[in-house]
């Protein structure tokens, strides 16, 4: 009887020990699993942080590049406006200078004769009519025939229109029938060659490129 009781106790003790061993193994495995889960979670968090940091850096770099490009465009636009403003200022100065030239008879008369002669050459012989601005109409009215004869000879008959045109200098020359006209006023010449003038001014202001010819060659 005693032997059976001892055997039962030994069996129970063995079972308890095995249970404790299994429990310890489960606890150990649980701790390892827990540690593995925590490590994996930390690694995932680290990867996420690295991805977010990289994404933030990329976004920051893109934003920086966008701002740089925007500033470059703004600066370029401002430079273009300033350059255009300088070109327009020179164009305005040219117009004022032409008015000063018209008021200088010694310098203006040869230029006026040149513009008249080129207009006559363009239209050819025949009966022609010249229209001048108010100042020139008063200036050349009395000696008009001598002026025409002196610069054009007898190849064309140029009548002076009693009606003035709105211009700061030069003249308009048309056929007697009015079907053909050459506008050699200062305004007409500048209008025809505005792009060329602006390009010339731009080159003189912002480069050393040389150009040929003059505005009043026709």
Give CATH superfamily name and number for 104-217. ATP synthase, E subunit, C-terminal (3.30.2320.30)
What pTM was computed for the model? Answer: 0.60
Look at residue 144 in the predicted model and tell me its pLDDT. 94
Sheet containing strand 170-175, edge to edge, reads: 157-160, 127-132, 170-175, 181-185
Token pair belonging to 201: 């001014």
DSSP bridge partners of 170: 185
- Which of 23-27, 47-51, 52-56, 137-141 shows the lowest mean pLDDT across its residues? 23-27
What is the pLDDT confidence band of residue 30, given thresholds at 50, 70 and 90?
confident
For residue 130, the surrounding DSSP H or E stretch is strand 127-132
Q: What is the pLDDT of residue 133?
A: 95
The pLDDT value recorded for residue 145 is 92
Query: How much helix, strand and coil, in percent to the nearest 5, is found in the chain?
Result: 75, 10, 15
Dump pLDDT digits (tens) for 100-117. 999 999 999 999 999 999
- Paired residues of 214 in beta bridges: none
Q: CA-to-CA distance for 70 and 155, rounded, in angstroms?
A: 64
Query: pLDDT tens digits for 75-98?
Result: 888 877 887 888 888 888 888 998
Phi/psi zone of residue 153: left (φ > 0), alpha (ψ -120 to 50 degrees), beta? left
> Residue 209 — pLDDT band, cuts 50, 70, 90?
very low
d(CA 205, CA 207): 6
What number is the average pLDDT over the span 177-205?
Answer: 89
């Amino acid at each position: 009887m005693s032997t059976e009781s001892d055997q039962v106790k030994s069996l129970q003790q063995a079972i308890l020990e095995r249970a404790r061993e299994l429990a310890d193994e489960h606890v150990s495995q649980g701790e390892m699993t827990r540690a593995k889960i925590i490590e994996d979670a930390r690694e995932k968090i680290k990867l996420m942080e690295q991805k977010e940091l990289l994404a933030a850096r990329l976004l920051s770099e893109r934003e920086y590049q966008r701002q740089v490009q925007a500033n470059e465009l703004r600066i370029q636009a401002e430079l273009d406006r300033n350059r255009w403003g300088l070109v327009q200022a020179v164009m305005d100065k040219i117009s004022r200078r032409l008015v000063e030239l018209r008021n200088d008879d010694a310098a203006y008369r040869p230029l006026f004769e040149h513009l008249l002669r080129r207009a006559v050459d363009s239209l050819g012989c025949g009966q022609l009519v010249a229209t001048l601005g108010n100042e020139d109409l008063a200036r050349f009215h009395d000696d008009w025939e001598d002026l025409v004869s002196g610069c054009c000879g007898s190849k064309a008959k140029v009548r002076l229109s009693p009606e003035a045109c709105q211009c700061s200098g030069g003249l308009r020359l048309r056929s007697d029938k009015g079907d053909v006209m050459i506008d050699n006023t200062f305004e007409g010449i500048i209008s025809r060659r505005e792009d060329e003038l602006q390009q010339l001014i731009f080159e003189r202001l912002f480069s050393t490129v040389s150009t040929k010819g003059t505005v009043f060659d026709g």
